[in-house]
Amino acid sequence: PLHLHFRVLQTRLTQCELQRLHFFNTFFFRELSRHQSATNLALDCVKRWTENINIFEKDLLLLQFYKGSLYFGYMLVCLGDSY
């Protein structure tokens, strides 16, 4: 499964590196994109994924997503000053 790739990556990073990034699973992107025409509704659907973390303090956000039954991918959002 796709989420295992993130687990392997997390085990190979140092604690300092892990604090600079945040991983979102496929459910986050699915819920966010499900309400494309209603931004506030989409944000309400994913609010619980970010309620205990300030994503704007992170350097990187890594998102997994599925498109259809065979296509999957990763999305990298660069927030830090060094990017």
Each residue's pLDDT tens digit, 16-26: 888 888 888 77
The Cα-based distances of 58 to 13, 16, 35, 46 in angstroms read 15, 11, 25, 17
Q: What is the pLDDT of residues 13-66, one digit of tens each?
A: 888 888 888 888 777 777 777 766 656 666 677 677 778 888 888 898 888 877
Quick check: 83 pLDDT over 60? no
pLDDT of residue 62: 85
Query: Model's pTM, two decimal places?
Result: 0.66
Has residue 1 got a pLDDT over 60? no
Q: What is the pLDDT of residue 29?
A: 75
Both tokens of 26, joined, read 């496929």
What is the per-residue pLDDT for 42? 62
Query: CA-to-CA distance for 83 and 54, rounded, in angstroms?
Result: 19
- Alpha carbons 9 and 64: distance in angstroms, whole number: 13
